[in-house]
Amino acid sequence: MRALDEFGSGTTGSRVLNGTYAGHKAVEDALCEFYAMDHAMVFSTGYQANLGIISTIAGKGDYIVLDIDSHASIWDGCKLGDAEVVPFKHNDIEAMEKRLNRIPEGAGKLVVLEGVYSMLGDISPLREMVRVAKAAGAMVLVDEAHSMGFIGPNGRGVAEDQGCLDQVDFVIGTFSKSVGTVGGFCVSNHPKFEILRLVCRPYVFTASLPPSVVATAATSIRKLMRGSNKRAHLWENSRTLHAGLKARGFQLGTEEPQSAIIAVIMPDLERGAAMWEALLKEGLYVNLARPPATPANMTLLRCSLCAEHTAEQVETILGMFERAGRAVGIID
Ligand SMILES: Cc1ncc(COP(=O)(O)O)c(C=O)c1O
């Protein structure tokens, strides 16, 4: 509120012109501290962070090797940069290695991975994938949109949790999930990182985030640094919801809970939509995800838990799923 009062509702300009205020630098400092990295660049959304960084570091003649289930912003970043795009089967280390080995000698290589995949809420075997990518001479970018503040001893994500964060060249993240506002970023230790600010089109040619948004994000990031109690509670929520849904006979996206996303697989789109409506009538909103946004043509009811959900609320959610599932005929 103070930022809004002092600096107004918007910056009316690009980060490279009149749109960099003290608050933008402060949030980048907070990100450097949070990830213990040298550089941070804040974008207006996470979508733009992927668009900007991927298209700038991999251009014509370079190769991008990426998981087939990558987020739309990653695919769009590849298109914008004009690099050769080589997808591999989801989380398949061998397939990734084969693709990397087929790239012509001397070409620039970028491997793009996600810590948590947003549709099924499954995590990637990052440690091994990063090792293989590095051995093939590739740079590595990991989108940790769904793990920030939650996964890893300091909430730095799956790469931190699996002990390979120091091998990752670029981490992409968003303020639209655990940070609770809007915005996106890239953090890195790359010595030439700062040059990106001048050549990255989705950073240069758009207005910067409003002062109140960056002030909120900086405060929130600093809170996440001290969030270990909340992290523990969120894991509890995730485990309870996963176990409860499984016990009631629902088919889930992962065998075990791997993140704060619990995806419930619907038999088809028709019954998925009916279930979604029945849950809404119960008073529960969940996201209905359907092809082409989902892998393998699945229809999903995608639950995103947060640390603010109480244990009691998670039990209420389970009761709602049970009643709706019976009414629609998805469970017995
Ligand atoms: C994996 C992943 N990357 C990037 C984004 C984009 O983030 P934002 O909402 O900040 O544009 C999302 C959001 O849905 C996401 O799930």
What is the tens place of the pLDDT at every residue in 228-245? Answer: 899 999 999 999 999 999
Task: State CA 228 to chain mean position distance.
Answer: 20
- Residues 6 or more apart whose Cβ sits within 8 Å of residue 195: none
pLDDT tens digits, 74-132: 999 999 999 999 999 999 999 999 999 999 999 999 999 999 999 999 999 999 999 99
Which pLDDT score is estimated for 120? 96
Taken in order of first residue, the domains within the chain and their CATH numbers are: 2-224 (3.40.640.10), 228-327 (3.90.1150.10)
**For position 72, what pLDDT does the model report?**
95
| Dihedral sign from CA coordinates of 263, 264, 267, 272 | negative
Question: Ligand 1 center to residue 145 CA distance, Å?
Answer: 6
What average pLDDT score do residues 178-186 get? 97
Which runs of E-coded beta strand occur in the chain?
39-43, 63-67, 84-88, 109-114, 139-143, 170-174, 184-188, 251-252, 261-266, 287-289, 299-304
Asked whether the predicted pLDDT for residue 178 surpasses 90, the reply is yes
Judged against a pLDDT cut of 90, whether residue 298 lies above it is answered with yes
Q: Which atom of ligand 1 is nearest to the CA of 118?
A: 16
Pocket of ligand 1 (CB under 6 A): 45-47, 50, 71, 73, 114, 118, 143, 145, 174, 176, 184
Mean pLDDT of the chain: 97
Confidence at residue 228, expressed as pLDDT on a 0 to 100 scale: 87
* 174 CA closest ligand 1 atom index: 10
Summarised one tens digit per residue, pLDDT across range 22-64 is 999 999 999 999 999 999 999 999 999 999 999 999 999 999 9
What pLDDT was estimated at residue 227? 84
Residue 263 backbone dihedrals phi, psi, to 5 degrees: -100, 125
- For ligand 1, atom 8, name the residue with the nearest CA: 46
Q: How far apart are CA 50 and CA 61, in angstroms?
A: 19
Atom of ligand 1 nearest to the CA of 47: 11
Give me ligand 1 centre to Cα 278, in Å.
28
Q: How many CA atoms lie within 13 A of 164 on its CB side?
A: 23
The mean per-residue pLDDT over the stretch 218-230 comes to 93
Listing from the earlier edge strand, what are the strands of the sheet with 139-143? 39-43, 184-188, 170-174, 139-143, 109-114, 63-67, 84-88
